[in-house]
Structure 1
Amino acid sequence: MERFGTLSFGHYGPLGGGRSLTAGDSLRQAVDLAQGMDDLGVNGIAFRVHHFARQQSSPMPLLAAIAATTERIEMGTGVIDMRYENPLYLAEEAAAVDLLSDGRLALGVSRGSPETVVRGYEAFGYTGAEDPRGADLARAHFDLFLRAIDGEGIAERDPDSPFGGGTGLQRIEPHSPGLRSRVWWGAGSRDTAEWAGRIGVNLMSSTLLTEADGRPFDLLQADQIDAFRAAWREAGHPGTPRVSVSRSIFPITTAEDELYFGHSQNGDGIGYIDGFRSTFGKTYAAAPDVLVEQLLQDAAIRSADTLMLTIPSQLGVEFNLRIVESFATHVAPHLGWKSTRA
């Protein structure tokens, strides 16, 4: 494990006991958390993107704010639902954030997860999908997005324009060289992971897999990672792709930790999502020395270069920074990690 960071679901709303976390609170706390993690030398902070829900829905302003107030930390998404996106506008935004951050964007995109509404992307104006889940729409948007960030000419220049004119095709501006190498596809199956390898983007392996053959989640996920890397090699892409996995991991070092997470340790879950029988990864919650032994046995964590901790963002910046610092101090070094401050 070369890198670790956090993945926040960004929930806000009533917290119980008459308390509430507003959307503004959630955004400001996300910036504060990123600053604290940057100081700790943690590698990355990523945010779930969900529309029609009390979560982050338009991440680019948040990522730009983090870019402007941090120095080293990578900021990204896990994942942007491409069914909802204007691919050319996303290409402009992504390039701008990548440039502002000096290449620290880790843009995770995908078909998206189940929604709180019925085909919400159609309300955004994106219709015509033949797949009932909109997967074809997401792939088409993603293809155009990749062409745009690669610098391909998209629109015919106007030779009579008072703003430069000329002939041929004009690319999207701004353009950020190298952004393609910082794009990730969030894959929930072996097939989509292989597809990501073939087209040459990084792999963000999901917290669930739409497979359930009796094997543990970590072995299923390790097989998915192997298939991705094999597809990358067979396609002849240069370099080494990055791979991230997400886990709920809580070092228990205080009585408060025990109160919140002491009974969270469990096995893998089996359920149905989007009509597929799926396997969900388990939660790890234990004393740091126990966690080290458990995580060293997780085949997917051993295979990936990046581990993202799913954090309870509703519990505030101070609490989450303590979780992250505890993991960075007592667990991560035993998995191969070194702080960016080193």
Structure 2
Amino acid sequence: MPRPEQPLRKLGFLTIGLFDAADPAAGHRSTLEIIELGEQLGFDSAWLRHRHLQFGISSPVAVMAAASQRTSRIELGTAVTPLGWENPLRLAEDLATVDLLAGGRINPGLSVGEPMHYDTVKHELYPDSTESEDFSYARVERFARLVRGDKVRDFSGKQGVVEEFSNRVEPHSPGLRSRLWYGAGSMKSAVWAGESGFNLLSSSVIFPDEDQEPDFAKVQQSQIRAYREAAAAAGNTARASQGLVVIPTDSASSGQRAKYQRYVDERTPRTQSPQGPKGMMFARDLIGTSDEIAEQLYSHAGFQEVDEVAFALPFSFDHEDYVQILTDIAGKLGPALGWKASM
């Protein structure tokens, strides 16, 4: 539990990698520059959202590969990669490759479930297997086995003069399995992640059980606690990270402060009550000086259950806004939470 006498241990940030459809390269370069800045500021980790058929990064694995060659220390992750869009074997190969290039700094965050707006894309995504694709936990369990190096087939060995085949995913990156995270939004998923040996990503979107009071912080707290209990019962390590949107304004200009407040005001109504048939709950964006945000975090029941965070950057801001926000998080908010920069 972060508190003045027990400080925040790891500080990260999350970005969607927004880009302009007319000039997507510029947005990708901006994301790489932001990750480089994060390392320079001492952040422990940088995380990429995974977006398909949108104007945000669709291939975080490729972006992490590029970022790994521009940085040397900061950890790189996805929060999260929806496995419904992926072939688990091919993704295991790609992530192992990037992890080796990065020197063991990759933290894949995953989720399962039917791809968003599946009916509009299934004819292109899975034209021959639409009805048979399995989007359950079994998909991520299979991916984890492949990353771990479990046997894929019986066939292996040398064939002909130069061809040599393996019976597991190659390359194999030792340690990558222990750095797999699951993005859980429900009690069921949190417990499953603990039992199955995944680290836990708890974000600003959660789903309460029917009998739970619709209080975001308390629901998040109960899910993280259940995750830790399930992990302990299974003999698994239990790392949990929280990802809220925080917008420190310490060094912001008056124009930036007004812009940020408009953004928060537009998003606040959705946090007032559960949304949709599943009762989806959104966390409030935290805006203000770093001292004000730290005070709110210390009283947040969900934050009290973790010692590492990946604060989410707002989706639609400009590059200079992200520079200001990250600089204030590293220089003001992190220290106010007891965190010390990694250099």
TM-score of the superposition, structure 1-length normalised? 0.87
Equivalence map 1:241-252=2 (5 Å): 241-252=238-249
1:24 aligns with 2:31: no
Partner in structure 1 of residue 3 of structure 2: none
Partner of 1:290: 292
Partner of 2:233: 234
Aligned to 2:179: 182
Aligned pair partner of 1:161 in 159, 162, 175: 159
CA shift, 1:171, in A, is 0.8
Q: Which amino acid in structure 2 is aligned with residue 180 of structure 1?
A: R
Opposite residue 7 of structure 1, the aligned amino acid is L
Q: Which runs of 4+ in 1 moved over 6 A?
A: none
Return the offset for 1:165: 5.9
Equivalent residue for 2:141? 143
Deviation at 1:121, TM superposition (A): 5.0
Tell me how far 1:313 sits from its aligned partner.
5.2
Q: 1:119 to 1:107 in 2, by over 3 A?
A: farther
Asked if the contact 2:199/2:238 (under 8 Å) is kept, the reply is: yes
Rounded Cα–Cα distance in structure 2 between residues aligned with 1:129 and 1:225: 34
Q: For 1:10 and 1:178, locate their aligned partners in 2 and report how far apart those are by CA, in whole Å.
A: 27
Q: Is the 8 A contact 2:122 2:130 kept in 1?
A: no
- The CA distance in 1 between the partners of 2:313 and 2:258, in whole Å, is 16
Distance 1:230 1:59 in 2: 32
- Give 1:270's aligned residue: 273
Whether contact under 8 Å (1:7, 1:78) holds in the other structure is: yes
Q: Secondary structure at the match of 2:286?
A: strand
Contact 2:221 2:301 in 1 (8 A): yes
Quick one: structure 1 residues 78 and 119, their matched pair in 2 at CA, closer, same or farther if it must change by over 3 Å? farther
Contact 1:244 1:305 in 2 (8 A): yes
Task: Deviation per CA, 1:42-74: give whole Å up to 9, x if none.
Answer: 111111112122221121110000011001111
Instruction: State the secondary structure of the residue aligned to 1:336.
Output: coil
Alignment deviations for residues 18-48 of structure 1 (CA, whole Å, 9 cap, x no partner)? xx6x321221111110001100001111111
Name 1:13's counterpart in structure 2: 20
Q: Kindly report which structure 2 residues correspond to 1:1-342, keeping only aligned pairs within 5 A, or say none.
A: 1-13=8-20, 22-111=23-112, 115-116=116-117, 118=119, 120-121=121-122, 123-125=124-126, 127=129, 136-157=134-155, 161-162=159-160, 163=162, 170-211=167-208, 213-237=212-236, 240-253=237-250, 254=252, 255-262=254-261, 264=264, 266=268, 268-273=271-276, 275-312=277-314, 314-341=316-343
- What is the count of residue pairs matched by the alignment? 326
Between the aligned partners of 1:2 and 1:159, the Cα distance in structure 2 is 45
Could you report, residue by residue, the CA deviation over 1:184-225 in whole angstroms, capped at 9, with x for unpaired residues?
001110100100000101001132111273342111101100
Deviation at 1:261, TM superposition (A): 2.1
Structure 1 spans left out of the alignment, 5+ residues: 15-19
Query: Given that residues 29 and 316 in structure 1 are in contact (C-alpha distance below 8 angstroms), is that contact kept between their aligned partners in structure 2?
Result: no
Q: Secondary structure of 2:273's partner?
A: strand
Task: Report deviation, 1:117.
Answer: 5.2
Tell me, what secondary structure is at the counterpart of 1:285? strand
Distance change in 2, residues 1:176/1:113 (3 Å): same
Question: Shift of residue 262 of structure 1?
Answer: 3.1
Q: Which runs of no fewer than 5 residues in structure 2 stay unpaired?
A: 1-7
Distance 1:292 1:160 in 2: 59
1:256, distance to aligned residue in structure 2 (A)? 2.8
RMSD (Å), alpha carbons: 2.4
Structure 1 residues 156-181: Cα deviation after superposition (integer angstroms, max 9, x where no partner) = 22567224668xx7111000001011
